[in-house]
């Protein structure tokens, strides 16, 4: 594949390494420093784009891909309030869009376990639920996109919780998400159900970014030739 990388930070560099190791070519690497080069790209040279930029750039990056019929895989977080209109634009352009808040295989198994546990714990109101997420200090959004995915699945199943808050919850209907930012932490997520007699806890700890980058490259390989809006559940057939 000929790949366009949109966002050339730590994740972009890791994606480049893994893509090259799998026999792909990086045709262009676009970051804030050379964003003016984006409109000089010949879309016919690009098979797929992988987008890990920042919240302020993601919408324009995605629309560029949709408008030029370039399949795009994105993992940027902090923009999901506009997700509906972005997906609508993709469909109007007959584009291909793959989005995940986290591309790690382990995290997506964790997502599935979280849904199953939340459905079970809905039956037991004596248990309260809280989430903690820890990431590196360069991460600009809080809570993390992964935490928001986990929270959404909990809110779908645990009817006594109506919304999430990014602090210790004051109301019984709130799902607290406690965010920590510590240097050199790829990502840790903990979901804890607590009662007066015991706690139940599930946890995912990433050791490095390689799992995220590998999943994004696999998604880029998978989306070639497809049209529509996709996620990890589609690729992994959960």
pLDDT in tens, 73-125: 999 988 989 999 999 999 999 999 999 988 998 999 999 999 999 999 999 99
| Banded pLDDT at 142 (limits 50, 70, 90) | confident
Q: What is the reported pLDDT for 110? A: 96
Query: Would the pLDDT of 169 be above 80?
Result: no
> Contact at 8 Å (CB) between 3 and 47?
yes
Q: What is the reported pLDDT for 138? A: 80
Query: Would the pLDDT of 186 be above 90?
Result: no
Query: How many Cα atoms are found within 13 Å in the side-chain-facing hemisphere of 219?
Result: 32
What strand order describes the sheet that includes 128-135?
163-165, 174-181, 128-135, 187-194, 199-206
The CATH code that applies to domain 105-206 is 3.30.360.10
Cα distance between residue 71 and residue 107, in whole Å: 24
Of the two residues 169 and 179, the one the predictor is more confident about is 179
- Altogether, the residues listed in the chain come to a count of 238
Cα torsion through 140, 143, 149, 152, rounded to 10: -150
26-36 mean pLDDT: 94
Query: Would the pLDDT of 234 be above 80?
Result: yes
- Token pair, residue 49, equals 């784009």
| Banded pLDDT at 209 (limits 50, 70, 90) | confident
| Residues identified as active-site | 135, 139
Query: Would the pLDDT of 172 be above 90?
Result: yes
- At the topology level, CATH places domain 2-99+210-236 in Rossmann fold (3.40.50)
Contacts with 203 (C-beta within 8 Å, 6 or more apart), sequence order: 188, 189, 190, 191
CATH 3.30.360.10 boundaries in the chain: 105-206
- Token pair, residue 117, equals 């546990």
* The Cα angle at residue 221 between residues 39 and 185, in degrees rounded to 5: 85
* Average pLDDT, rounded, for the chain: 94
Burial class of residue 40 (count of CB atoms within 10 Å of its CB; 0-12, 13-18, 19+): exposed
The percentage of the chain sitting over the pLDDT mark of 70, rounded to a whole number, equals: 100
Positive or negative torsion for Cα 140, 141, 146, 147: positive
Q: What is the reported pLDDT for 3? A: 98
CATH 3.40.50.720 boundaries in the chain: 2-99+210-236
């Amino acid at each position: 594949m000929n790949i366009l990388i949109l966002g050339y930070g730590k994740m972009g560099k890791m994606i480049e390494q893994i893509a090259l190791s799998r026999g792909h070519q990086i045709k262009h690497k676009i970051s804030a420093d050379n964003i003016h080069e984006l409109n000089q790209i010949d879309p016919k040279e690009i098979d797929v784009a992988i987008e890990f930029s920042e919240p302020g750039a993601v919408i324009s990056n995605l629309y560029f891909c949709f408008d030029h019929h370039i399949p795009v895989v994105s993992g940027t977080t902090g923009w999901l309030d506009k997700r509906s209109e972005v997906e609508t634009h993709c469909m109007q352009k007959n584009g291909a869009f793959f989005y995940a808040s986290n591309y790690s295989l382990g995290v997506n198994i964790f997502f599935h376990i979280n849904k199953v546990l939340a459905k079970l714990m809905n039956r037991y109101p004596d248990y309260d639920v809280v989430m903690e997420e820890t990431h590196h200090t360069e991460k600009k959004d809080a809570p993390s996109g992964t935490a928001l995915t986990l929270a959404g699945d909990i809110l779908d199943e645990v009817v006594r919780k109506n919304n999430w808050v990014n602090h210790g919850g004051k109301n019984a209907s709130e799902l607290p998400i406690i965010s920590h930012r510590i240097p050199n932490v790829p990502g840790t997520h903990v979901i804890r159900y607590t009662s007066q007699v015991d706690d139940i806890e599930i946890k995912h700890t990433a050791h490095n970014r390689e799992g995220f980058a590998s999943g994004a490259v696999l998604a880029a390989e998978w989306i070639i030739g497809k049209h529509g809006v996709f996620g990890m559940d589609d690729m992994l057939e959960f």
